[in-house]
A and B are shown apart, each in its own frame.
Chain A
């Protein structure tokens, strides 16, 4: 929920169900009221954003305020998804936060080149991961401002 009390819709693009679970649990723990929707590959993410197929349902699949994007994804790679989002006139207004396992410099550079809004690496430690998600929640959900007319 943002400052105005509206829920923030977050689209999580993540192929590992374990990681989706971790993110979900963290958001629940932080008690920030928001809505978490997950898709498991790059193609599904694009279909969601462009409202293709089953995702052509505004009530069930609302346009997200924020996208949490893993880089290594089946079918369509995370960077490719980022590129498409950032080259679309409307979607480019949605902040994209990269959340990936890899700390490779090359990946980070490429992500920023394609206008990623933030780049986070999943920590290999429970406390660290929890802290990251907590901070993330405060920053991106509580404080960050989003355009209205999406």
Chain B
């Protein structure tokens, strides 16, 4: 059985495995497009009169089927997952009220070229190599969060501009405790005792954004990680101009930004003999080999220019005139200009 045949057969037969209350439910197969255009197949079972239905991703079930599992058993398992799913505790009607939702907005920064199809459906603004998309945080605990992406139909329902959403999301994200750590601190924090004995200092410096830059010692070889308290969608902080400036104050100059994932970015002082070719190659390699496809931020290294107070593609910063023709009217993340490089848009 091919994947398409499997999907069709699941759609046709799943009702035989569902309780009586699902007799008049609609069963749909839908393609769900996640970040970086990662596509998955969802089975949707919509009970009559219900306004919420689970998306049960059946690609994994197909993988199990290929491993010679019994189709009957797989259908039982899908029915079990669909009917026992923990329903989000939310009043759907509240989602239509922008005033109630604006403080719950957060930015999910993505690579605009890696999401060109998906962005057609989503509220977004463009910033250099990136696009800001927006999520509503419905609930949040230490274990995780429930969120909803803001699509075009929601924006229409709200009756606000995308620029308004962007400004409100920027304000809301600033209240979610932006964090800047030295690399060794954040790895030790995640790994805990597993990292003991790896030569990292026992005393951690903590969140550098909360300290006076005068009290922070930064070596040219230091690596910093910019994220937020929940370590989720922290790359959106690249759009916070005050934070970028504070990072520059801490470092004492310009810096490179490696787009390590949608959840955090790596900051390197632009001192010494850093080769951009090497940085670009490193980002591509780690993205290709280690980062989950839907969490890749970009392959494009960025550069913070302190004099112009802006973030720009590092390749364009290195030679703006030579690289001018590779971009478009969204070349620069902050919309400002490289005046001291002789380039005016």
Q: A and B: real partners?
A: no
Q: Which residues of A contact B (CB under 8 A)?
A: none
